[in-house]
Amino acid sequence: MVLGVSGGIAAYKACELLRLLTESGHSVRVVPTDSALKFVGAPTWAALSGQPVTTDVWTDVEQVPHVRLGQESDLVVVAPATADLIARAATGRADDLLTATLLTARCPVLFAPAMHTEMWEHPATQDNVRTLRARGVVVLDPAVGRLTGADTGRGRLPEPADIFAAAQALLARGAQPLDLLGRHVVVSAGGTREPLDPVRFLGNRSSGKQGYALARTAIARGAEVTVVAANVALPDPAGAKVVRVGTAEELRTAVLDAARGADAVVMAAAVADFRPAVRADAKLKKTDSDPEPIALVRNPDILVELGRDRAHAGQVVVGFAAETNDVLANGRAKLAAKGCDLLVVNEVGERRAFDTPDNAATILDPEGGATEVPLGSKDALAHVVWDLVAARLSAT
Ligand code: CTP
């Protein structure tokens, strides 16, 4: 594969990415830009990759590297991708070895941008990113955090381990088409917490693992992903926009907002059906007498709202249902009551659903179909969900 490195301070993090790639057995040719070499020198890349390093198209001309590298690669990863590199790639420039390689590559291409927040948010960069995504390039959203100086914001390079995971996921897809390319999907994940007082809440056992698996796999299939995460303690899925929420009402606001421009919404979060009618301002004290029962009020059903008030015709709405008994009968009734297009029904039990790496499910649709997904990884289940979502999207 080719690891393209453009000229940003995050170039030093690409050394760690390179190690992860080579140690997992990949043969990696590093193609830096001239500016990248101002941050990390050619000997470092050559030593770490065990391959020659050139930035221009005039070295080893007899091997026609400006065509051969792109043609022979299984994957091109550009990390960090600066605003300038993104602009040059979007306009089809071929003025150095990396941009020439990008023009000749017919394999999956993954960009991990890193730049200051203002540069990332500038309409020029956003237009260029849209152009690249429309052409099939998987562009990760930069992470939020510390930037070069003391400033913080969106624009940080995703962690090398996360870029590595995204690269592995793209390679695992092999020649399969990026069927969510150009699609925007929203995934809710985790479990809501409804406060009783400043230190206590009513919550549930959802970890967010299934929601994050949905986000990761959608990115690997080319989607732009917004994750609405309720109390999730996992590292952010690389390349997704993550909106953090606590309560069901906050989740509702964030999901409905993100759903406006989305092609699909998947409600994997475990949402509290009720919340305490009163949230005490101060910590509740124990008393000698028996405590008063806690009065609860209903929370809005977000999935019902999404199914009823679609942001646009053709939007696909997916729900999850965790059931302990009469799984399929309860699932069918819930699918009808929620008005969604697909309902992923889990039987809650040992090694399934909550806070485990594995899951099994039956995915119901309103046409009477039922897709069985045997016990396997949450990523495997997520891929089946996206297979069905992609099929419904392409049918409209
Ligand atoms: N859901 C929601 N808003 C709620 C409750 C649930 O959007 N207030 C969504 C969940 O994200 C999930 C689906 O509805 O996708 C089903 O959640 P589940 O808890 O199984 O269903 P409930 O409607 O709460 O039914 P019950 O708890 O009675 O089984």
- CA neighbours within 13 Å on the CB side: how many for 233? 4
pTM over 0.85: no
Output the DSSP codes for 127-168.
HHHHHHHHTT-EEPBPEEEE-SSS-EEEEEPPPHHHHHHHHH
Mean pLDDT, rounded, for 375-394: 94
Interatomic CA distance for residues 335 and 345, integer angstroms: 10
User: Is ligand 1 within 6 A of the CB of residue 157?
Assistant: no
CB of 248 within 6 A of ligand 1: the answer is: yes
| d(CA 338, ligand 1 centre) in Å | 9
Domain architecture of the chain: domains with CATH = 2-173 (3.40.50.1950), 184-394 (3.40.50.10300)
Average model confidence (pLDDT) across the chain: 93
Check whether 151 has a pLDDT greater than 90.
no
- Which of 174-188, 211-225, 229-243, 245-259: highest mean pLDDT? 245-259
pLDDT at 55 over 70: yes
β pairing state of 29-32 and 2-5: parallel
Mean pLDDT of 27-35: 97
Q: What is the mean pLDDT of residues 280-300?
A: 92
Confidence band of 58 (pLDDT split at 50, 70, 90): confident
Cβ of 186 less than 6 Å from ligand 1:
no
Of 339, 318, 335, the C-alpha closest to 381 is 318
DSSP-based three-state secondary structure for 284: coil
pLDDT at 396: 78
pLDDT band (50, 70, 90) for residue 177: confident
Strand locations in 72-139, DSSP E? 76-81, 109-113, 138-139
Tell me how far the alpha carbon of residue 230 lies from the centroid of ligand 1, in angstroms.
14
Residue 354: the pLDDT is 64
Atom of ligand 1 nearest to the CA of 321: 20
* Mean per-residue pLDDT, 210-229: 94
Quick: pLDDT tens for 237-247: 888 999 999 99
For 326, counting Cβ atoms within 10 Å of its Cβ (0-12 exposed, 13-18 middle, 19+ buried), the class is exposed
- Give the residue numbers annotated as catalytic, written as ranges: 204
DSSP 321: E
Q: How far is ligand 1, taken at its centre, from the CA of residue 90, in Å?
A: 42
Atom 14 of ligand 1, residue of closest alpha carbon: 303
Element (H or E) spanning 359, and its range? strand 358-364
Give me the mean pLDDT over the 152-181 stretch. Answer: 87
- Taking the centre of ligand 1 as the mean of its atom positions, its distance from the CA of residue 394, in whole angstroms, is 27
pLDDT surpasses 70 at 352: no
Residues 6+ apart with CB under 8 A from 68: none
Ligand 1: nearest atom to the Cα of 188: 11
Report the nearest-CA residue for atom 28 of ligand 1: 273
The first and second tokens of residue 332, run together, are: 């069918």
65, two tokens: 């590297």
Establish whether residue 363 lines the binding site of ligand 1, counting it when its CB lies within 6 angstroms of any ligand atom: no
d(CA 312, CA 41): 50
Ligand 1 within 6 A of CB of 273: yes
353 lines ligand 1 (CB under 6 A): no
